[in-house]
Amino acid sequence: MAQKVKVASAVFKREVNTKNGLMYSYDIKVDGDDKTYQYLAKTNPQTKFSVGAEMDVELVQNGNYWNIKPVQQSGGFGGGNPQRLETD
Protein backbone atom coordinates (compact mmCIF):
# COMPACT_ATOMS: atom_id res chain seq x y z
CA MET A 1 0.00 0.00 0.00
CA ALA A 2 1.47 3.33 -1.04
CA GLN A 3 1.72 6.28 1.29
CA LYS A 4 3.30 9.73 1.26
CA VAL A 5 6.28 10.25 3.58
CA LYS A 6 8.94 12.89 4.18
CA VAL A 7 12.49 11.52 4.23
CA ALA A 8 14.32 12.39 7.48
CA SER A 9 17.60 10.55 6.76
CA ALA A 10 19.20 8.15 4.29
CA VAL A 11 22.40 6.55 5.58
CA PHE A 12 24.63 4.03 3.77
CA LYS A 13 24.95 0.86 5.82
CA ARG A 14 26.90 -1.78 3.87
CA GLU A 15 27.53 -3.57 0.57
CA VAL A 16 25.46 -6.70 -0.02
CA ASN A 17 26.17 -9.52 -2.48
CA THR A 18 22.87 -10.68 -3.97
CA LYS A 19 21.88 -13.05 -6.76
CA ASN A 20 21.57 -9.90 -8.91
CA GLY A 21 25.09 -8.73 -8.09
CA LEU A 22 26.49 -6.15 -5.69
CA MET A 23 23.88 -3.92 -4.04
CA TYR A 24 24.11 -1.20 -1.41
CA SER A 25 22.04 -1.24 1.77
CA TYR A 26 20.71 2.01 3.25
CA ASP A 27 18.86 2.83 6.46
CA ILE A 28 15.99 5.20 5.71
CA LYS A 29 14.13 7.16 8.40
CA VAL A 30 10.93 9.10 7.75
CA ASP A 31 9.36 11.95 9.73
CA GLY A 32 6.79 10.91 12.31
CA ASP A 33 7.89 7.25 12.43
CA ASP A 34 10.39 5.60 14.77
CA LYS A 35 11.10 2.62 12.49
CA THR A 36 14.26 2.28 10.42
CA TYR A 37 13.50 1.07 6.91
CA GLN A 38 15.90 -0.89 4.70
CA TYR A 39 16.49 0.05 1.07
CA LEU A 40 18.71 -1.77 -1.42
CA ALA A 41 20.14 0.41 -4.18
CA LYS A 42 22.09 -0.47 -7.30
CA THR A 43 24.35 2.56 -6.88
CA ASN A 44 26.38 4.18 -4.14
CA PRO A 45 25.41 6.88 -3.47
CA GLN A 46 21.72 6.11 -3.96
CA THR A 47 19.56 8.69 -5.73
CA LYS A 48 15.98 7.78 -4.77
CA PHE A 49 15.75 9.14 -1.21
CA SER A 50 16.73 12.78 -0.64
CA VAL A 51 16.52 14.21 2.88
CA GLY A 52 13.53 16.55 3.12
CA ALA A 53 11.82 15.16 0.03
CA GLU A 54 8.16 14.16 0.17
CA MET A 55 7.46 11.04 -1.86
CA ASP A 56 5.12 8.11 -2.32
CA VAL A 57 6.59 4.85 -1.01
CA GLU A 58 5.62 1.28 -0.23
CA LEU A 59 6.45 0.00 3.26
CA VAL A 60 6.63 -3.79 3.60
CA GLN A 61 7.46 -5.85 6.68
CA ASN A 62 9.91 -8.68 6.00
CA GLY A 63 10.31 -10.68 9.22
CA ASN A 64 11.89 -8.36 11.81
CA TYR A 65 12.79 -5.77 9.17
CA TRP A 66 10.83 -3.16 7.27
CA ASN A 67 11.64 -2.46 3.62
CA ILE A 68 10.91 0.78 1.81
CA LYS A 69 10.77 1.42 -1.90
CA PRO A 70 9.66 4.36 -4.00
CA VAL A 71 6.40 3.98 -5.89
CA GLN A 72 7.09 3.90 -9.61
CA GLN A 73 5.43 6.69 -11.52
CA SER A 74 3.38 5.33 -14.41
CA GLY A 75 4.58 7.21 -17.44
CA GLY A 76 3.63 4.77 -20.14
CA PHE A 77 5.81 3.72 -23.02
CA GLY A 78 7.47 5.76 -25.70
CA GLY A 79 9.45 8.66 -24.39
CA GLY A 80 10.67 9.56 -27.84
CA ASN A 81 10.79 13.03 -29.32
CA PRO A 82 7.47 13.54 -31.19
CA GLN A 83 9.02 16.31 -33.30
CA ARG A 84 11.80 14.11 -34.65
CA LEU A 85 11.13 12.72 -38.10
CA GLU A 86 12.63 9.47 -39.29
CA THR A 87 13.65 9.47 -42.93
CA ASP A 88 15.14 6.69 -45.03
Residues 7-66 have pLDDT tens digits of 999 999 999 999 999 999 999 999 999 999 999 999 999 999 999 999 999 999 999 999
Distance of alpha carbon 64 from alpha carbon 40, whole angstroms: 16
pLDDT at 75: 61
Residues 4-21 have pLDDT tens digits of 999 999 999 999 999 999
pLDDT at 77: 58
Contact 69, 77 (CB under 8 A): no
Q: How confident is the model at residue 1 (pLDDT cuts 50, 70, 90)?
A: confident
What pTM did the predictor assign? 0.79
